[in-house]
Structure 1
Amino acid sequence: MAETTLVIAGRHYPVRCRDGEEAHLAHLASLIERKARLAQQNTPGLTEVRTLLFAALFLADELNDLKREAIGRQQQLALGDEDESAAQTIESLAARLEKLSDRLAAAADDA
């Protein structure tokens, strides 16, 4: 098990992790650190706990927005699939109508 130290809002946090995950944790900590700095800049005098609370809220808000965007894209893709299916059905019906029209024309010619 590896150990690394994360710096968030000016405070050092020793953390244990699986070997090789240190860089990933450092990256995550940098995301939290940016949000913590943003909270401190927008509201000077925040306690450490409130700074981390606001950082977590900022990150949760971004995550929520991304989830809504992903759901919207999935719905658009699903509608695209429905459109494709409808187009195939219409093409199939058009082909059947052409065959029927050809048969009726041939029958009229024979009569």
Structure 2
Amino acid sequence: MAETTLVIAGRHYPIRCRDGEEAHLAHLASLIERKARQAQQSTPGLTEVRTLLFAALFLADELNDMKREAIGRQQSLALETEDEPAARAVEALADRIEKLRDRLAVDAPGA
């Protein structure tokens, strides 16, 4: 087990993690730290606990927005996938109509 110290909202948090995860945890801590600073700037005088609470709420809000966006994309892709066979059928019909038009133009009197 590895040990690392994360600094969030000016406080040091020694934690244990699996070997090799230190950099990843430091990155996650930097995301939390950024949101904690945002909370402190928008509402000066917050206690440490409230600062971390607001940081967590900011991160949860971002995560929720991303999930909604991902669901919207998935639904859009699903609709496109469902529309694909219909689009192919329309294209095939259009090709047949063009061929019939060309044959009629050739067979038409005076052509």
**The two structures share one fold, judged by TM-score above 0.5:** yes
Structure 2 stretches lacking a partner, 5+ long: 105-111
SS of the residue aligned with 2:7? strand
Specify the code of the residue in structure 1 equivalent to 2:53: L
Tell me the distance in 2 between the aligned counterparts of 1:91 and 1:7: 60
Name the CA distance, whole Å, in 1 between partners of 2:97 and 2:70. Answer: 40
Question: What RMSD in Å do the two structures reach over aligned CA positions?
Answer: 1.9
2:50 is matched by which residue type in structure 1? Answer: R
Does 2:68 correspond to 1:64?
A: no
Q: Where does residue 77 of structure 1 map in the other structure?
A: 77
The alpha carbon displacement at 1:95 in A equals 7.1
Who is 1:8 aligned against? 8
Look up the match of 2:31: 31
Matched with 1:21 is 21
User: Unaligned regions of 5+ residues in structure 1, if any?
Assistant: 106-111
TM normalised by structure 2 equals 0.81
Task: Give the alignment of 1:45-64 within 5 angstroms.
Answer: 45-64=45-64
Q: 1:41: Cα distance to partner?
A: 0.5
Structure 2: distance between partners of 1:42 and 1:94: 60
Q: Distance in 1 between matches of 2:92 and 2:76?
A: 24
Alignment size in residue pairs = 101
By how many angstroms is 1:6 displaced? 0.1
- Percent identity over paired residues: 84
Structure 2 counterpart of 1:60, one-letter code: A
Structure 2 residue matching 1:20: 3-state secondary structure: coil
